[in-house]
Structure 1
Amino acid sequence: MVPEKKNEGNHVSRRSFLRNGALAAAGFMIVPRHVLGKGYTAPSDRLRVAGIGVGGKGFSDISEFAKGPADITFLCDVDTRRAADAVKRFPKAKFYTDFREMFDKEHKNFDAVSVSTPDHQHAVATMAAMQLNKHVYVQKPLTHDIYEARMLTEGARKHKIVSQMGNQGASGDGVRQLMEWYNAGLIGDVHTVYCWTDRPVWPQGIPWPAGKQEIPKELNWDLWLGTAPKKDYVDNLVPFNWRGWWDYGTGALGDMGCHIIEPPFRVLGLGYPTSVECSVGSVYVGEFKRGYFPDSCPPSSHVIMKFPGKNGKEITLHWMDGGIQPDRPEELGPNETMGDGGNGAIFVGTKGKMMCGTYGMYPKLLPTSKTATANVPQTIARVPEGHYLQWVNAAIAGYGSSKAKALSAPFDIAGPLTETILMGNLAIRSFDIRTPRPNKPDAYDYPGRYIKLLWDGPNMKITNFDAANQFVKRTYRDGWSLGV
């Protein structure tokens, strides 16, 4: 078992990060390959990766990096139970519980960082790594908040960092096939897109559990909470069910949107939405009593976003989760699978339709018989090495290199995509804003419901309902800062 670390240095200042980053840059020197001798792999030809959040998906991420020219040199996790497989797989990697302590002590000894924590910790770990001039690979969604996504996008440019988000479908053949069909004009101009998922597969639309449970000795609960408000530990939140709570997760839309909305976002070249509206599923407790649980994501939702399209026309994107699906296209046979079943996207154009599943997989023209007969040349390069090694090789090549410029999901792409997805969550959360009615203590109004929220993308602001702007940027718990 991993020895439990004492929580040393619980706060590392931005000044400390920047000072240490400057020292690291000053002390780094690439030794030419010819000096080292034939057959020797120069240190500059391998990427030293530190993993933050190394259980579950984090473990699979660093394992994928290790298949290429990468060495996993440090492991960090607040839960030693979750870290056990990674410690066994990478016994030479030094283990830490607090990434800030690892950064402060070891910044000279790694080149890049993989972040696979719960959503609410993505931004602080990633920004701290970039301020140390470390390349970053971050699980989806890139951040918990819209503001954080914008800051990470700008930070990657400022610090000249090679970045990639963990939406691996962005490197798949499927989305490139969809782009080639669309660019060839096979379905005309797209005006409507439907995206859906059968998630959540974790509890949502529920009250915060009552009572106080004992914290497992292997879990540092205070570090797990991180930027989120202080709360007592409850069972079954870790390692997975946190996704359904707004303090930590981003619900079904945050979890799956980066895999399902990414194909239309890329194919259609979407930017900031101009408006968003939604409806959400209700939860009832007791007889004819609607539950009000604003801390928890709803059990289902339907979000509608508008984007600028070609020739001044709008593109409408529908997002549906919790098992809600769009109408079945009339061109699809009665026994043919829509999307991949539980998830998918349908593009509706002026000349035809096409669809895909999660990650842009299983691309098909509709009717599906057209798929085999479509004669469109390949114009977009594929990614034979895959999403993970694409980032490893680009990080070794360096910022500004041709490999870095060819990345599938750098923050310049992943940041705006994440902002778009989180716009949907802003609408969902605005749906539950309530205000008491005058002289009626048990009655409330819900001013954020059944309206269209107008979005000023460049300035990150809802212009017609100011109360919704509280969800653009949250307040961190004392001791935590984004450092910008």
Structure 2
Amino acid sequence: MTEKNKTTNNGTSRRDFLKSASMAAAGFMIVPRHVLGGRGFIAPSDMLNVAGIGAGGKGQSDIAAFAKSGKANIAYLCDVDDRRAAASRASFPKAKYIKDWRDLLEKEHKNFDAVSVSTPDHNHAIIAYHAMQLGKHVYVQKPLTHDIWEARLLTEAAKKFKVVTQMGNQGASNDGTRLMAEWYDADLIGDVHTVYCWTNRPVWPQGIQWPTNKSEVPKELDWDLWQGTAPRKEYVDKLVPFNWRGWWDYGTGALGDMGCHLVEAPFRVLGIQYVKDVQASVGSVYVDEFKKGVFPESCPPSSHITLTFPKTNKTKGDVTLHWMDGGIQPERPDELGPSEPWGGEEGNGTLFIGTKGKMFASTYSDAATLLPKERTKDAKAPQKYKRVPGGANGHYAQWVEACIAGYGKMEVSSPFEVAGPLTEALLMANLAVRGHDLKGGALKYTWDNKAMKVTNFDAVNKYVKREYPAGFELKA
């Protein structure tokens, strides 16, 4: 690559890698690792060579979990922030470190088999899609994408490129979600018509104004590359590495953080997929004693969202799902005593209400319980669904082994054909939340799933697919 084609410090693009990656994909042939030779490569039947894009925080724990499977070699580490990557680099000193994911995919794609994407939400889709174009299996942290259009794109790409995919909602591999599906199939709670999901998130700042105090960009951080697909702004302190979650340009709020964990069970148990309609109420903040503040760049401090899903082959009618965040919880079930704990200690839970009874679970579908609680011990339902060895912790090894086996050879818990519609539903709920800033908060938003648009409030459709800055375009 010539010097003039590299990305400059102000974010202008080299010869567009995103275009060249698409061209490379068209002629790229997946060559068995033992044929390539050199650098100690092992045949893919024995070991999966993984490139970890996003090596700090959750990315660090993901990479470590892949390695712990005993069947994954961490071949590459990639992060825009040298500080965040330091621990992973120390743990995997033989892994080659590259700061720009575009360089990794462009120059090194022949030397690894799979990619783990654990970046802020706004960069999930662009990295995953271009890795998939190159024939790479992908593991992408939740939520799968930042926008609805991106989720649909990745869902279709998994089939088109025939790669093994998994979203990082590890509760999808837990026994709890399978146990509740078996209870439901055995008619222990009758027909479920209503579900509640709730979380104590956000545990980061939301409902605030964008900071006005400018800060110096840390020398270890490539700020332009971190912004990626987001609009360009001045760097502000404490946004990285965690507080980006509360800003719409980068994150997806409490729904994006916890929805893929808590709403996964209703999707699996009830067979629901795409949303029919949604409405939301959001918490307000006060800028002074009498005036409510509206900060459209930031997710609200709390919300209660009601989603309607059409009848499935496992329900007798539509299903109403309530999402509550910011500490809001549903009414305590009558089957519980006034002091009896329910949900999880973390402040998260999922409650199913059926015509014959109720059941609930905490985060990751842990502690699945029938109500009244004494029913759980004596519950009898045939085991229909295969358990994942290690449960939530086995989510990583399951993907590794499926990649080694090859596309279509082994089941995974959260492939994109499942994770995509789940993510779309959560992002559809966020459309209703964002509609409040566009004076459409009182509406029930109706959704045309095929056209991917809200039919009765066009202003909010601009959030279905955002505009991408030069150098970070995402094109199907």
TM-score by length of 2: 0.93
Is this contact kept in 1: 2:67–2:74, CA < 8 A?
yes
**CA root-mean-square deviation:** 1.6
- 5 Å-filtered alignment, 1:387-466, equals 387-401=395-409, 403=410, 406-433=411-438, 446=439, 448-466=440-458
Aligned to 2:320: 316
Cα separation, 1, equivalents of 2:32 and 2:354: 54
Distance of aligned partners of 1:175 and 1:11 in 2 relative to their CA distance in 1, 3 Å threshold: farther
Alignment of 1:15-414 (within 5 A): 15-21=19-25, 24-25=28-29, 28-29=31-32, 42-68=43-69, 69-309=71-311, 313-341=317-345, 342-385=347-390, 386-401=394-409, 403=410, 406-414=411-419
Question: Contact 2:17–2:106 at 8 Å: present in 1 too?
Answer: no
Q: Distance in 2 between matches of 1:11 and 1:292?
A: 41
Gaps spanning 5+ residues in structure 2: where? Answer: 1-5, 36-40
How far did 1:461 drift? 1.0
Counterpart of 1:417 in 2: which secondary structure? helix
Alpha-carbon separation, structure 2, partners of 1:14 and 1:212: 31
Partners of 1:431 and 1:281 in 2: CA distance: 11
Alpha-carbon shift at residue 278 of structure 1 (Å): 0.5
Find the aligned partners of 1:337 and 1:45 in 2 and give their Cα distance: 47
Following TM superposition, by how much is the alpha carbon of 1:336 offset from its aligned partner in structure 2, in angstroms? 2.1
- Secondary structure of the 1:431 match is helix
2:22 and 2:254 map into 1 onto residues whose CA distance is: 36
- Asked if residue 481 in structure 1 is aligned to residue 473 in structure 2, the reply is yes
Give the conservation status (yes or no) of the 8 Å contact 1:280–1:301: yes
| Distance in 1 of aligned mates of 2:206 and 2:442 | 22
Structure 2 CA distance for partners of 1:354 and 1:122, relative to 1, 3 Å: same
Q: Normalized against structure 1, the TM-score is what?
A: 0.91
Deviation of the 1:375 alpha carbon: 1.4
Deviation per CA, 1:435-484: give whole Å up to 9, x if none. xxxxxxxxxxx2x0211000111221111111111111111112211131
Aligned amino acid, residue 315 of structure 1: V
Q: Using the alignment, how far apart are the partners of 1:469 and 1:264 within structure 2?
A: 26
User: How far did residue 334 of structure 1 move?
Assistant: 2.2
Question: 1 CA distance for matches of 2:103 and 2:34?
Answer: 29
Contact 2:57 2:84 in 1 (8 A): yes
CA contact (8 A) 1:128 1:483 kept: no
Q: 1:251–1:104: structure 2 CA closer, same or farther, 3 Å change rule?
A: same
* Matched residues, number: 455
Q: Do 1:134 and 1:161's aligned partners in 2 also have CA atoms closer than 8 Å?
A: yes
Q: Which residue of structure 2 lines up, in the alignment, with residue 470 of structure 1?
A: 462
Residue 19 and residue 462 in structure 1: after superposition, are their counterparts in 2 closer, same or farther (change >3 A)?
Answer: closer
Q: Name 1:37's counterpart in structure 2.
A: none
State the distance in 2 between where 1:156 and 1:223 align. 26
Distance 2:14 2:342 in 1: 50
2:403 counterpart letter in structure 1: A
Shift of 1:23: 5.4
Counterpart in 1 of 2:3?
Answer: none
SS for the counterpart of 1:194 is strand
**1:36 alignment partner in structure 2:** none
Asked if the contact 2:55–2:85 (Cα under 8 Å) also holds between the matched residues in 1, the reply is yes
Partner SS state of residue 258, structure 1 = helix
Contact 1:10 1:100 in 2 (8 A): no
Q: Is the 8 A contact 1:173 1:382 kept in 2?
A: yes
Q: Is the 8 A contact 1:7 1:98 kept in 2?
A: no
Q: Is the 8 A contact 1:12 1:104 kept in 2?
A: no
CA gap 1:11/1:221 in 2 versus in 1, 3 angstroms: farther
Equivalent AA in structure 1 for residue 278 of structure 2: V
Q: Does structure 1 retain, via aligned residues, the 8 Å contact 2:32–2:43?
A: no
Structure 2 Cα separation of the partners of residues 42 and 208 of structure 1:
50
**Which SS does the other structure have where 2:286 is aligned?**
coil
Aligned to 2:38: none
Structure 1 gaps, min length 5 = 1-5, 33-39, 434-445
Contact 2:18 2:472 in 1 (8 A): no
CA distance in 2, matches of 1:414, 1:209: 34
Cα distance in 2 between the residues matched to 1:322 and 1:454: 25
For residues 179 and 11 of structure 1, the distance between their equivalents in structure 2, rounded to whole angstroms, comes to 50
1-structure distance, mates of 2:28, 2:92: 24
Amino acid at match of 1:83: A
Query: Residue by residue, what CA displacement relative to the aligned partner does 1:410-444 show, whole Å, maximum 9, x if unpaired?
Result: 000000000001111010001111xxxxxxxxxxx
Q: C-alpha separation between the residues in 2 aligned to 1:46 and 1:171?
A: 22
- The change in CA–CA distance for 1:166 and 1:462 in structure 2 (over 3 A counts) is same
